[in-house]
Amino acid sequence: MKKIAVIIFLLSSAAAYCASYDEALKLFTEKKYQESLKIIAEDLVSGEDLKRGSPNYKLRMLAGYNHWKLGSLKNAADHFSKCMEIETKKIDPYISLALCQMDMKKYGEAEKTVRAGLKIEESAFLYYISGKISLKNQNYWRAKELFEKANSMNPELYVSYNSLGIVLMNLKKYSQANTAFSVALALKPDSAEILNNYGMSLEKTGKTKDAAAYFKRASDADPENKTIRDNLSRIKEKSQE
């Protein structure tokens, strides 16, 4: 799941209606982050965070994503943390904060956030995030276990299948990686990242022609991606040898 898709999903589940929020969300989707923050600032009253019926939870979640997009990760994390205080039974702020902390490379803090969120709800996405942390730390067997847990809880979480494939490649289990990537691709057939990963895994198993086909599809899906272009060029040269 790309970050923007996660953001829209989490925002759509927020409660309490606020007319200006809709305008701020529209600006966010148009990538007008500063303008969106300006509208939020007009309605956000910090002293009313815990007031019944306050729109602050929604406003702070959206403010957090705007700051995230602008690269102000600390401000984003602060807003998500406030949201955890406002809605103590929602896991969405935990998901957002953990992902933000990963972008800040604070993997230990992200793992603590995940664990705290899992005490509220057994979430496939939180297990996925924990798997990503283990992957970053090169703890591949632990990452494999966590991605498989996430997949068992949500068989349509394609990002987890894709990450599982990456882990299996690192473990040199290429045949199993091919299976994981094929499932991810069935769920998200237009993903250049998955197509490219599948191509790399196929190449490792000596299926050069098949790998070239997936690199070509990946390049068509994301023609500006240098890594994909380089992979396609390399596999073409290999095919001519």
Say if residue 192's pLDDT is above 50.
Answer: yes
List domains and CATH numbers for the chain.
Answer: 1-121 (1.25.40.10), 190-241 (1.25.40.10)
Say if residue 1's pLDDT is above 50.
Answer: no
Q: What is the phi/psi pair of residue 119, to 5°?
A: -70, -25
Per the CB < 8 A criterion, the answer to whether 58 and 15 are in contact is yes
Arithmetic mean of pLDDT over the chain: 92
Report the pLDDT value the prediction gives residue 224, as an integer from 0 to 100: 95
For residues 144 and 155, give the distance between their C-alpha atoms in angstroms, rounded to a whole number: 15
- pLDDT tens digits, 85-143: 999 999 999 999 999 999 999 999 999 999 999 999 999 999 999 999 999 999 999 99
- pLDDT tens digits, 142-167: 999 999 999 999 999 999 999 999 99
- pLDDT tens digits, 63-79: 999 999 999 999 999 99
Q: Name 9's Cβ contacts closer than 8 Å, sequence gap at least 6.
A: 1
Beta strand ranges found along the chain (DSSP E)? none
For residues 140 and 35, give the distance between their C-alpha atoms in angstroms, rounded to a whole number: 42
Residue with tokens 């380089």: 230
Burial zone of 213 (CB within 10 Å; 0-12 exposed, 13-18 middle, 19+ buried):
middle
User: What percentage of the chain has pLDDT greater than the value 90?
Assistant: 87
**Model confidence at 5, in pLDDT bands (50, 70, 90)?**
low
Say if residue 2's pLDDT is above 90.
Answer: no
More confident residue, 60 or 9: 60
- pLDDT tens digits, 13-23: 544 456 789 99
Report the pLDDT value the prediction gives residue 149, as an integer from 0 to 100: 98
